Amino acid sequence: MRSAPTLEFPLDEYEARMAGLFAKIEEAGCEAVLLTNEENLRYFCDYRSAGWNSEFAYPAMLLAARGGKAALVTSTRQLPTALATCCLAESEILAFDGFGEPGSHEAFVPAIVSALSRLGVTSGRLGTETGLVARMRITYGDYTALFEALPGMQPMDFAKYIFDLREIKSPREIEVMRKCCGMSVDAFKAAMDKLELGKTTEEEMYHEYVAASFDMGADDFEYQLIVEFGPDRPQPNCMPGARVYEDPDWCVFADSGPSYKGYVSDMIRIGKLNPPTKAQQDFYDISLECHKSCIAMVRPGARIGDFCKAHDDFMRAHGVEDICLTMNNSGHGVGLDVHEMPVIKSVFADKEFKPGMVFAFEPTIIHPVEGQIVLENNYLVTEDGCENLTPQLQDIYVPRRS
Amino acid sequence: MRQSPMLEYPVSEFKDRMAGAAEKIKAAGLDCIMGSSKAMVCYLTGLRSVAWKSKLSTPGLIFLGADGNFGVVGSFSAVDTAMYTTCLEKEDFYFFDASGRYGVALNYYDALCYTLRHLGFTKGRIGCELSGGFHLHMDIAMFNDLRREFPGLEFVDSSELFWDILAVKSEAQLRNLRDAEEINRRAAARGLEAVRPGAMTELELYREIAKAGYLAGSEHFTYMSVLAGAGRALCAGCPASDAVVIPDAPGTTIHVEGGAVRRELNAPFTANIVVGGVQPEQQPAWELASGMIERAMSAVRPGACAGDAAEAMDAFAAAQGKAGWVVQPGYAGSGIGWGRIDGPLLRAGSKFVLRPGMTLTLTASVRHASVGVLTLRQNVVVTDGGCCFLNGKTVEPLVV
């Protein structure tokens, strides 16, 4: 491995990650793995490209095999980009004419077959990013064509092993995420402070939020910020629209956050121009108290299933289970992707919290009159509990008053 | 169908889209299609969700039959968003809910199976997004399970049909694309205003341009490549670096690639900011790339094939004795709109027939020591008599 000119973290960070990957290959009992996703390539070898923004392009793929062998496969046109960003040794960066280029679909299979052969892999199991919370970034047609060209190899779901590694953040990752999470709430405050009654639209608030984030050092918006004004805008994951903030008693709902060095944050904050009404405050307090109650039980070894149950029981105890959006589905891991492991859902009941995990918790009430009321924080699991990475504005934010 | 608060186009347009797609499905000998991509779901229903990049969430998946019968599958949490942004009636949306409160499927897979059976799509041929720039919005294991669950259904690749359905833009869509192109112009102008050669990094310039793009109204401003100088220009698609200070030598070219999105429609842009203007030794590269774009535009007209533009570009370079300068021979660009690159690809040999209303991006990349790689891009609309700029000429150097 080598320190590429634009490497994001010091080389030893990637050496540790690749060592973890090789150990997982042994543990899984496969011969090699094929990684096709932007997040996985960035995580293991820091390959980066704006080319991921085209669904037609495969900018690069990472192969790793038993015995500590690895190869980044890319096109000859994109070789200089790989050399500028990726920390694999130059001899491990294999360039093929047309690989992953929109106009050269036919180059894909021969390149991967050739690269596997150079790693000495022609038979056995090939780990792939299939299964829960995973997607291969190749077309299904290319997936089947690849395995037809590799008659001695069988696909194997390797996503679980990848998440075993990615879900535990290193101190350097935590430092980056701390900054990213901090900006996500600070930018909300900045955008709220510019909110004008009768003038600002949802879209404009989103754009002000983005501008504030860039000024604070963000470098991308992987996920658009959801901004919704008013009690009849309880639409999860909806794009911001042209609605104007017309009533100071309307709640402003904002969800997601900026990206920084590839890492994302995911907060939800509520704000408004008038002080909260009693009903708004009462429902908000349920979400806030749910955080306090449930987060107190998070420590290494605590089970996801018990955490899910605690959330659901809390909502039942407060009589809001029928209007709670997040029953049995109250959070998710955050990192290079906005939705990653650990997913806080009963299907992962036996999974345990571990130090270094970062997750978003979002107990959500959708009230037929009051609208969508929720507080979402990002938490870091520590050796003896949990740290809130988004501690700012835990109450409904009212500019010039809070 | 109904007019929801955030439906971007009239209901009549969605009725036409759905009917037109059903006709094409029938003509292709299919019984139905399964559209899981943002492009297909958004085109047919208007769904506006931020969750398409999630590997956990399911904004929506559409089944549409040759008979016009359709249904959309998604999670419980997506129902309200669908009702607020799409033309769908509530009964068109088949949701699942892990809590078990509603007596519906508990997970996505079961909801897919239920909906296929409910709509009667259990036999025959179902067209799917299996190649050509489409990535199934479900994991591969689930798709394989679905194939096993319905042995009477033949899951066939229909990517070309899908691009054919998506290719022609309505006047309303063209207005949004022109708005996106105008945002690009304003963002690039801000870059020109903000750039400080010798005292600014690529990443600092990137932030200025991206911020301007958002403030000008972009829904999302595609993560950009900003490359300063001939050496960096060789790094195709490389993200902006905070370790690279923009050189101030005359002729330094800052290559900026990105793209605004307006109402889900993408307009990619390429801007070349040149310190002190194009130098004499760089002129041949500029002339070659400009000439290639002009020739490609001449080849774009209704009835022409998508491959004609690439062949015209290559023929021009060869006639100049500079075929060896061309970075991607046989490639002249692609469709645009649903992504930065849509079908059809303008690839030599492609027989995809161009039609009025299609939006294309023409790109010419040439390699020369004086510039590294110079890429020019021009977005166009196919008209009845040929093609025109989407929103003005975009291949001129921006001189600082």
Residue B95: give the domain boundaries. Answer: 11-167
Same domain for B255 and B146: no
For A11-166, CATH number? 3.40.350.10
Residue B148 sits in the same domain as residue B213: no
Distance from CA of A50 to the nearest CA of B (A): 5
Task: Examine the domain organization and report whether B233 and B373 are in the same domain.
Answer: yes
What is the CATH classification number for the domain harbouring B332? 3.90.230.10
Per-residue H/E/C for chain B: CCCCCCCCCCHHHHHHHHHHHHHHHHHCCCCEEEECCHHHHHHHHCCCECHHHCCCCCCCEEEEECCCCEEEEEEHHHHHHHHHHCCCCHHHEEEECCCCCCCCCCCHHHHHHHHHHHHCCCCEEEEECCCCCCCCCCCHHHHHHHHHHCCCEEEEECHHHHHHHHHECCHHHHHHHHHHHHHHHHHHHHHHHHCCCCCCEHHHHHHHHHHHHHHCCCCCECCCEEEECHHHHCCCCCCCCCCCECCCCCCCEEEEEEEEEECCEEEEEEEEEECCCCCHHHHHHHHHHHHHHHHHHHHCCCCCEHHHHHHHHHHHHHHCCCHHHECCCCEEEEECCCCCCEEEEEECCCCCECCCCEEEEEEEEEEECCCEEEEEEEEEEECCCCEEECCCCCCCCEEC
* Per-residue pLDDT reduced to its tens digit, B22-34: 999 999 999 999 9
Q: Which of B167, B196, B213 marks a domain boundary?
A: B167
Same domain, B158 and B220: no
Do B392 and B323 fall into the same domain? yes
pLDDT of residue B98: 85
For B238, the closest of A85, A339, A345 (CB atoms) is A85
Look at B135 and A345 and tell me if their CB atoms are within 8 Å.
Answer: no
Domain A171-388 has CATH 3.90.230.10: yes
Chain A and chain B share a number of CB contacts under 8 A equal to 217
Mind listing the pLDDT tens digit for each residue in A23-60?
999 999 999 999 999 999 999 999 999 999 999 999 99
pLDDT interval class at A402 (50, 70, 90): low
Whether residue A214 and residue B223 make contact (CB cut-off 8 A), yes or no, is: no
Q: For an interface test with B, give the residue of A9, A46, A54, A304 to mutate (most B CBs within 10 A).
A: A54
Same domain for B284 and B162: no
Same domain flag for B90 and B182: no
A234 touching B, CB under 8 A?
Answer: yes
Q: Running along chain B, 400 residues long, what does each successive block of 10 average in pLDDT?
A: 96 98 98 97 97 89 98 94 97 92 93 98 98 92 96 97 97 98 97 98 97 96 92 96 96 97 96 98 98 98 98 98 97 97 96 98 98 98 98 97
Radius of gyration of chain B measured on its C-alpha atoms: 23
Q: pLDDT for B154-194, tens place per residue?
A: 999 999 999 999 999 999 999 999 999 999 999 999 999 99
B31 and B102, same domain (yes or no): yes
CATH of the domain at B16: 3.40.350.10
CB nearest to B98's CB, from A49, A223, A328? A328
Domains in chain A: boundaries: 11-166, 171-388
Question: B182 with B265, same domain?
Answer: yes
The reply to whether B96 and B212 lie within a common domain is no
Q: Is B243 inside a domain boundary?
A: yes
ipTM: 0.96
B132 contact residues in A (CB cutoff 8 A): 56, 105, 139
Spatial neighbors of A364 by CB under 8 A, at least 6 apart, are A236, A268, A287, A324, A325, A326, A330, A372, A373, A374
Fold match flag (A11-166 vs A171-388) = no
pLDDT tens for residues B58-70? 899 999 999 999 9
- Looking at the structure, tell me whether residues B182 and B158 fall in a common domain: no
| For A75, nearest residue in chain B (alpha carbons) | B236
B162 and B286 housed in the same domain: no
Q: Which residue of A has its CA nearest to B107?
A: A347
Total domains present in chain B: 2
Which of the residues A226, A237, A367 would you substitute to probe the B interface, choosing the one with the greatest number of B C-beta atoms within 10 Å? A237
CB contact under 8 A, A80 and B6: no
Instruction: Measure CB to CB from residue A237 to each of B59, B220, B341 and give the nearest one.
Output: B59
> Is position B2 within any domain?
no
Q: Does A366 reach chain B within 8 Å, measured CB to CB?
A: yes
**Chain B: closest CA distance from residue A354 (Å):** 21
Question: In chain A, what residues touch B136 (CB-CB under 8 Å)?
Answer: 139-140
